[in-house]
Amino acid sequence: GLVGPWQSRSSSLNQSIVLPGAAPSSN
């Protein structure tokens, strides 16, 4: 997991690098 506001709620999906506020299906 890298930097991101969604880092807390999506620890699992955090494997992928996405733009802040542009989380994967979790969003």
Placement of tokens 């999506």 in the chain: 10
Using left for φ > 0, alpha for ψ between -120 and 50, and beta otherwise, residue 24 falls in beta
pLDDT tens per residue across span 1-27: 455 665 555 555 555 555 666 555 554
Say how far apart CA 11 and CA 9 lie, in whole Å: 6
Say how far apart CA 15 and CA 4 lie, in whole Å: 12
Total domain count, the chain: 1
Tokens (6 digits) for 21: 């506020």
Domain that holds residue 19: 1-27
Q: What is the pLDDT of residue 3?
A: 58
Q: What is the pLDDT of residue 6?
A: 56
Q: How many CA atoms, within 13 angstroms, populate the side-chain half-sphere of residue 1?
A: 13
